[in-house]
Each structure stands twice: as C-alpha cells, then as structure tokens.
C-alpha cells in the first residue's frame, strides 16, 4: 500500500480500458497466467519479464478479457488463472504506435507505467495493455478464475488471512 492510499480522501479508481489513466492513481487490473505461475506470484510477488513490446516490466490490463487470452499456449489454458490486481500506476506514459521513441525506454524517463490504448495497432487483439516497471506497485487482491480442482483460491485466501493476522 502506498502512502496516498492511507489518506482519508483516498478512493479506488475504476477505469474502463478505453479511458486514459491519470498519474498517481490506483487501478483494478488483471493478469492471466498458468496455475503454477499464479502460485509463485501469490507466494513471492511478480517477477518482471525481461523483454516484451514495452520492454522490461510486468504486463497487466484493465481489460479482463485481455487477461483471459493468457497463457498463449492452448495446452496451458486448462490450467489458466486470472488474477485481479490493485495497481498503483504512478507516472503513466501513453505509447500508441510502433516505433514510439519511448516504447522501450519509458522508465528511464521517470515513468512507472507504460499504457497502450485499445485500437491503436500496437496489440494484435486491439485491447488495452499496461507494463508496470516495479512489481511492488502491484498487489494481488483476488483470484477471478482458476481450474475447478485447484486449491489456488483457498491458498490465496489462507495467505491473505495470514497477512491480516500479522
């Protein structure tokens, strides 16, 4: 939780995927992954990918359907988990075309999150996507979808309970 979230007037901001994010706001976002990776994320936090369309960072989306398209491999979809996240976006840079001068260097210019708006031609699905540099800006708040016979939802609740007790 960041300092601004502790202020009396703080309110969680829900934003449609086609609305431009504002700096220093906390948004609900989603991340689709495998069961095994979700267990690691819940236990140890996110690990930034070293490469991608926007460079190094954790790739998330405000569009739950976008998150539902991951993992990409069809055989991994049987073990799909969608995590609901609370993301402190910090300073946001809009990247809306291929070859943007800050496409992979936005963090070096002081931005915390890179935002690709939907329908701009950057993503094959035409859906919104975000890349968050610092995984400490991301908190898992719920498991939206998990394989029926997995224990990840219960595992998540147990972990959350431990955090509340401490």
Domain that holds residue 40: 14-160
Residue 79: per-residue pLDDT: 84
Residue 166: per-residue pLDDT: 40
Cα separation of 138 and 128, whole Å? 17
- Please compute Rg for the chain using Cα positions: 16
In a domain, 8, yes or no: no
Torsion angle of C-alpha atoms 13, 14, 16, 19, degrees rounded to 10:
-10
- Residue 31's Cβ-side half-sphere holds a number of Cα atoms within 13 Å equal to 30
Q: Which residues of the chain have pLDDT under 70?
A: 1-14, 76, 149-166
In a domain, 7, yes or no: no
Cα separation of 164 and 166, whole Å? 6
- In the chain the beta strands, taken as DSSP E runs, fall at 26-34, 58-60, 80-88, 92-94, 113-116, 129-132, 138-145
In a domain, 59, yes or no: yes
Residue 147: per-residue pLDDT: 79
- What total number of domains does the chain contain? 1
The two three-digit tokens of residue 130, written as one number: 């975000």
CATH number of residue 28's parent domain? 3.90.228.10
Q: Buried b vs exposed e over 130-156: b needs ≥16 C-beta within 10 Å?
A: bbbbeeebbbbeebbbbeeeeebeebb
Average pLDDT taken over every residue of the chain = 85
What are the CA-CA distances from residue 158 to residues 83, 121, 131, 141, 162 (Å)? 16, 41, 29, 13, 6
pTM of the model: 0.83
In a domain, 81, yes or no: yes
Contact 140, 155 (CB under 8 A): no
Residue 85: per-residue pLDDT: 96
Which is nearest to 28 in space by CA: 83, 82, 70, 87? Answer: 87
In a domain, 166, yes or no: no
Residue 102: per-residue pLDDT: 98
Report helix, strand or coil for 43. helix
């Amino acid at each position: 939780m960041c300092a601004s979230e502790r202020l009396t007037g703080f309110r969680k901001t829900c934003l449609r995927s086609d609305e431009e994010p504002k700096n220093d706001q906390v948004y609900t976002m989603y991340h689709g992954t495998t069961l095994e990776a979700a267990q690691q994320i819940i236990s140890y936090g996110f690990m930034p990918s070293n490469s991608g369309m926007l460079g190094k960072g954790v790739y998330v989306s405000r569009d739950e359907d976008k998150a539902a398209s991951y993992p990409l491999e069809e055989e991994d979809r049987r073990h799909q988990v969608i995590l609901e996240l609370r993301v402190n976006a910090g300073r946001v840079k809009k990247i809306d075309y291929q070859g943007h001068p800050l496409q992979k260097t936005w963090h070096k210019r002081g931005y915390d999150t890179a935002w690709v708006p939907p329908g701009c031609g950057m993503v094959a699905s035409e859906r919104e996507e975000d890349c968050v540099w610092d995984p400490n800006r991301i908190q898992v708040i719920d498991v939206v979808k998990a394989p029926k016979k997995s224990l990840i939802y219960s595992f998540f609740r147990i972990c959350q309970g431990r955090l509340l007790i401490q």
